[in-house]
């Protein structure tokens, strides 16, 4: 399996867990730790007044809800908000993933989600799609979803 095929497999698994299985906890394990942290920080920013009144420390809360197996009491609220955001997207579990290797930097690949029925992206032509970065966690390690864009 090529790096792009492996990264595409992880991207498809991520989409399957979000849009078919509706399991954000499992999908978050396929995310890059930095992406999980960024999502937590955005959620905290969006809700800061309420969280500050509750006396919560931003950095500790972000670290707690972005752990691989979070146990913080606000994890349930965080994952509900994230799933609600994903519900605004097209169901990417029904879309395809590009297989052309687009190396952004060592251990970071750019893939695109493409609408169903698109088999190939012609060079220089416009197409409907969503970019997604995949990052290898270690030299021999697995790929993880590093960004998503809607």
For 134-145, the pLDDT digits (tens) are: 888 765 566 777
Q: Is residue 44 scored above 90 in pLDDT?
A: yes
Looking at per-residue pLDDT, the higher value among 80 and 112 belongs to 80
Contact 73, 65 (CB under 8 A): no
What is the b/e burial string over 114-142, where b = at least 16 CB atoms within 10 angstroms of the residue's CB? beeebeeeeeeeeeebbebbbbbeeeeee
Q: Is residue 1 scored above 80 in pLDDT?
A: no
Q: Residue 113 — φ and ψ, nearest 5°?
A: -80, 130
Among residues 1, 24, 9, the alpha carbon closest in space to that of 144 is found at 9
**Where on the phi/psi map is residue 49: left (φ > 0), alpha (ψ -120 to 50), or beta?**
alpha
Q: What is the pTM of this model?
A: 0.82
Q: What is the pLDDT of residue 125?
A: 75
Confidence bin at 149 (pLDDT 50/70/90): low
Q: What is the pLDDT of residue 70?
A: 94
% of the chain exceeding 90 in pLDDT: 45
Contact 31, 9 (CB under 8 A): no
Q: Is residue 115 scored above 90 in pLDDT?
A: no
Q: Is residue 58 scored above 90 in pLDDT?
A: yes
Contact 107, 135 (CB under 8 A): yes
Looking at per-residue pLDDT, the higher value among 34 and 118 belongs to 34
């Amino acid at each position: 399996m090529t790096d792009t095929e492996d990264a595409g497999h992880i991207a498809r698994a991520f989409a399957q867990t979000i849009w078919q299985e509706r399991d954000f906890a499992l999908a978050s394990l396929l995310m890059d730790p930095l992406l999980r942290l960024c999502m937590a920080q955005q959620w905290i920013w969006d809700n800061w007044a309420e969280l500050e009144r509750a006396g919560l420390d931003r950095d500790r809360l972000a670290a707690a809800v972005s752990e691989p197996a979070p146990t913080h009491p606000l994890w349930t609220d965080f994952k509900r908000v994230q799933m609600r955001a994903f519900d605004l997207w097209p169901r990417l579990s029904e879309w395809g993933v590009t297989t052309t290797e687009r190396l952004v930097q060592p251990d970071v690949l750019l893939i695109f989600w493409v609408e169903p029925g698109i088999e190939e992206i012609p060079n220089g032509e416009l197409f409907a799609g969503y970019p997604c970065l995949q990052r290898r966690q270690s030299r021999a390690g697995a790929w993880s979803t590093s960004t998503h864009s809607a």
